Amino acid sequence: SDDLLLWLYYDAAQPRVEVIARHGTQWGALPWQYSHPHPLSDPTGRWISFNAAHRGRSDVFLVDVA
């Protein structure tokens, strides 16, 4: 699916991919990169924030992944 936020972990012998959230961005709702979800984690790895475009605006979301 093109609306899943995936996170790649390198904390074991084999890397793994985990689905963190469904961002549901409306591609093309805003010009340029504004509608693209860009995830960022805090230094502890507990929180991930990302933006997503809905109804002509870009909102920021926060996910607790602990």
**pLDDT value at position 30?**
66
- Helix or strand or coil: residue 24? coil
H or E stretch covering 12? none
CA dihedral 53, 59, 60, 62 (to 10 degrees): -90
**pLDDT value at position 47?**
92
- 30 lies in which domain range? 4-64
Q: Do 2 and 36 meet the contact criterion of CB atoms below 8 Å apart?
A: no
Which residue in the block uniquely carries the two structure tokens 């979800």?
A: 37
Query: Could you read off the pLDDT of 14-64 as tens digits, one per residue?
Result: 999 988 887 877 677 666 666 677 888 899 989 989 888 777 778 888 889
pLDDT band at 1 (very low <50, low <70, confident <90, very high): low
